[in-house]
Amino acid sequence: MQCKNIFQNDIHFEFSTFNQVQRRYKVTEMQFSTQTYGQFLETIPDAALVIARDGKILLANGRACVLFIHLSTGPEKLNLQELVSEAHHEMLARSLEDFWNDPVPGSFDLMFLRSDGSEVPTRVEIQQLELREGLCAICIVRDLTEFNRSIETLMESEERYHMISAVASDYMFSTRVHGDGKLVLNWVAGAFEAITGFTFDDYIAHGGWRSLIYPEDLALDDRHLEKLKRNQPVVDEIRTLHKDGRIVWVRIYAHPVWNAKNQVLTGIYGAVQDITERKRAEEIISASEKRLTLIFDAVNDVIFLLTVESEGQVRFAAVNQAFLATTGLRREQVIGQRVGDVLPQASSPLVIERYNTAVRENKTIHWDEASENPTGKLVGEVTITPYRNEEGKCTHLVGSVHDITEIRRAEAEITKLNQELEQRVAERTEQLQTANKELESFSYSVSHDLRAPLRAINGFASIIARRHRAALNAEGQHYVDNVVLASERMGLLIDDLLTYSRIGRAGVRHEPVPLEEIMGSIIIDLETRLQQIHGILKIEDPLPVIIGDRTVVYQIFSNLIENAMTYRKSDVPLKILVSSRSDSKKAMICVSDNGIGIPSEYFDKIFNIFQRLHSDDEYPGTGIGLATVKKSVELLGGSVWVESRIGEGSNFFVKLPRNGR
Ligand code: ADP
């Protein structure tokens, strides 16, 4: 405890003064009375009391009278004990007893009572004194309040120092240049042990600073020393070796101590800061930056970073390799330049407005842009994304251009091919339509031309069968009957074919046709046959007015109803129902029967010409009826289909444009 020593010295000094005084008066000491001694006591700066063996106060100097309670009333009547805090009475008694047993100068600490009644910590220096009145003791009472406070302050500051040393990431040092020119560390404070791993003495023993520099950085240390020798301070980062062998990155702040007279370096002082953690963090960041740069430069898309200066003012902050390769520019021609100055197409008001929109509305903007580049024409999908800083201000724009030249080229190719294909289909359709028409007119001509000779065959065969029957034997009669039958069937076939090929030949009308009227005509025409087969035909009201051609519409529904009559079940009375459903544009009419039904695999096929599911003996027919229906319906812009179950009946649906009025 340095301070204690200082204090002791101090007291000692006081005492020696006193002793000197005593010594000076030694010869006459015995003649000193309390009175003359009293004057002497006033020369002592501290409180001084002369007490008798029983503790009775014989003398007190002025300082004591001011300080201590009761003394003002007259010290002679008091005992020292009355000036001391009650808690310390016992201690006082013991200390005095010890002193009188062996009266050598000594000291003890006590709490005295101040004149205002408060306690004051004191140190009592006691020494024997022989006065004329007898053997006494002089007590010099020193107030320790200030001393204690300074001790506390010192301890606090020491504590603070230790604390700072413990948590500090740096240490301070000073070195001296010895006579042989060697630099020797002579003082350190702070986190020296934490940074080096050595105590001060071990460090010196190990060889000091120079021996603990990372070998690769020795040259750097040399340069530092050179600077210091030129009286220049050094602030730099260097690698040192910890006692355990690991590398510790430090930042040094070294200042030369310069002897101006002789122009020589006499020492160095400064600080060393542990920056290993920071270096590690920097390494991690730089590694991740390197990786990002690698990705940035490896991607095929053009990527760039722009700094936003003001509305419409953007400059290139970074561009990737693909950017340079595409534009044929060098990095220094781009970085820091205005976008419009580097890329002419980016200076158009439209593009500037897009940048501004991205900044203003804080949203990603896309557009396609065509540009002329040294690498050729490029169509790119441009994307601009704004970056906002913590205050929400848009400081940067990140842009990318994805090359879609090939995609656009392929799209254009596809569009062209599609157009060509459509053209070819149209041509082909026209050719087919022409061929179809030719075929139809051919079949019409053939059927028409066949009609006359057939009528002749049928007429003459009928005459033979009727008038000359008796002249023929049984075989001859059979043949003639067959000729009549076959010619009749052929007549039907030719009629049906003529009907089929006639559809639409003269063009079709598209006029409102009330289906009720058509159904009325059909009922009249088929009534007799219906009665013969005991069939019922029910028409569900109301039937719509459709848009079409009366003759064609008649053909459609008479065909369907006739088929229902033909393909009925022999053992079940025939029921035919015509019903309808309509929306604003179309009418759907259904012709249902309870006939023999149709296998589902023939639902489509029966609409082909000559497609029959039965022999002529079972059910007579030509296989042209439904083909005629389909052709007619389609001519009117409608459609026809069937739903059926074998043995349960069939539903033929016809969808036709409806008269909206
Ligand atoms: P056709 O009746 O002259 O044979 P279609 O073209 O009118 O010729 O009919 C084709 C085939 O469809 C018929 O042979 C028949 O097998 C079947 N078919 C048509 N309508 C019906 C129906 N209502 N019920 C059962 N089968 C039918």
pLDDT 10s digits, 489-522? 888 888 888 888 778 777 888 999 999 999 999 9
As a whole-number percent, the residues of the chain with pLDDT over 90 amount to 44
Confidence of residue 45 (pLDDT cuts 50, 70, 90): confident
Whose C-alpha lies nearest to ligand 1, atom 2? 621
Confidence of residue 6 (pLDDT cuts 50, 70, 90): very low
Q: Is the pLDDT score of 364 beyond 90?
A: yes
| CA 588 to ligand 1 center in whole angstroms | 21
Confidence of residue 24 (pLDDT cuts 50, 70, 90): very low
Whose C-alpha lies nearest to ligand 1, atom 19? 563
| CA 557 to ligand 1 center in whole angstroms | 13
Average confidence score pLDDT of the chain: 85
Does residue 371 sit in helix, strand or coil?
strand
pLDDT 10s digits, 170-228? 888 889 888 788 888 988 888 899 999 999 999 999 999 999 999 999 999 999 999 99
Query: How many Å apart are CA 488 and CA 454, to the nearest integer?
Result: 9
Q: Which atom of ligand 1 is nearest to the CA of 626?
A: 6
pLDDT 10s digits, 609-648? 888 998 888 898 889 999 999 999 999 999 999 999 999 9
pLDDT on residue 32:
52
Query: How many Å apart are CA 118 and CA 111, to the nearest integer?
Result: 10
Confidence of residue 1 (pLDDT cuts 50, 70, 90): very low
Q: Which atom of ligand 1 is nearest to the CA of 596?
A: 25
Q: Is the pLDDT score of 69 beyond 70?
A: no
Q: Is the pLDDT score of 126 beyond 70?
A: yes
3-state helix, strand, coil in the chain (%, to 5): 50, 30, 25
Please give all residues whose beta carbon lies within 6 A of any atom in ligand 1, as ranges.
563-564, 566-567, 593, 595-596, 598, 606, 611-614, 621-627, 650
41-78 burial, b if ≥16 CB within 10 A, otherwise e? beebebbbbbbbeebbbbbbbebbbebbbebeeebeeb
- Per the model's pLDDT, the better-predicted residue between 323 and 65 turns out to be 323
Q: Which of 583, 587, 513 is nearest to 548 (CA)?
A: 513
pLDDT 10s digits, 329-353? 999 999 999 888 888 777 677 888 8
The residue assigned the tokens 């289906």 is 515
Query: How many Å apart are CA 331 and CA 324, to the nearest integer?
Result: 7
pLDDT on residue 3:
26
Q: Best mutation site among 570, 606, 609 for ligand 1, i.e. most ligand atoms within 8 A of its Cβ? A: 606
Q: 99 is written with which tokens?
A: 């002193």
Q: Is the pLDDT score of 584 beyond 70?
A: yes
- Per the model's pLDDT, the better-predicted residue between 565 and 107 turns out to be 565
Q: Which atom of ligand 1 is nearest to the CA of 622?
A: 3
| CA 611 to ligand 1 center in whole angstroms | 8
Q: Which of 660, 630, 608, 391 is nearest to 504 (CA)?
A: 630
pLDDT on residue 149:
81
Query: How many Å apart are CA 653 and CA 639, to the nearest integer?
Result: 8
Q: Best mutation site among 533, 626, 644 for ligand 1, i.e. most ligand atoms within 8 A of its Cβ? A: 626
Query: How many Å apart are CA 510 and CA 657, to the nearest integer?
Result: 10
Residues 498, 504, 507, 512: what is their CA dihedral angle, to the nearest 10 degrees?
A: 120
